[in-house]
Amino acid sequence: MPKIKEKRMEELPKLDNTLVYTDFDEQNPAPKGTWNSHVFEKDQPIVLELACGKGEYSVGLAELEPDKNYVGIDIKGNRVWVGATEALEKGLDNVRYLRCFIDHLDQFFGKDEVDEAWIVFSDPYLKKERKRLTAPKFLKTYRKVMKPDAVIHLKTDSDVLYEYTKETIEQEGLQLLDDDRDVHNNRPDDPKLSIITYYEEMHLEKGKTIKYLSFRLGD
């Protein structure tokens, strides 16, 4: 492991806005059902950024919407460190980071505890549909922690993930709320969709169009 990554991994558990759980640990219980009361210490809608990478979206959204509590989630601690330290530098008290596996969300959040989720430039897993974060098995996991009327947002450069998610929405009988094949041309002034991540910037430089979907999770 490069020294900078090793240093960040050592620092990560010490950051005031970061919780690290790579496995279930009874000696270090997760704040399941108590995120608002014990972690944020303010009762506001909870929004997840799943596979948050360097956390640009959770930081950007937390700045735009101080009346919501944001949790960026990823297993890659080196990347989480970037978002967590930026949030601390900006003094954002409505964003936290959680290092854990996304398919273990129900170990860390209680039933109906989460109001909304963003999936931004996640790996499209071109050869492994089941690993895509909008696959039915993940939707099943989300339903364990999200409200029935919760909204999930997908922002991606991948045609495969975009089309797959639309098909999944239809097959699952979910409500498609929004569908845009080129958000930067069609909505240049949308404050949420105009947040640019590290990977998004690379995709845009290659001339790729950025697609967006939102849908209601349902029961």
- What whole-number distance in Å separates Cα of residue 99 and Cα of residue 212? 25
Residue among 131, 5, 14 nearest 76 (CA): 5
- What whole-number distance in Å separates Cα of residue 48 and Cα of residue 204? 24
Catalytic residue among 25, 43, 123, 182: 123
Pull the structure tokens for residue 184. Answer: 């930067």
Tell me which H or E stretch contains 50: strand 46-50
| Burial label, 166 (beta-carbon count in 10 A; 0-12, 13-18, 19+) | middle
123 part of the active site: yes
Active site residues: 123
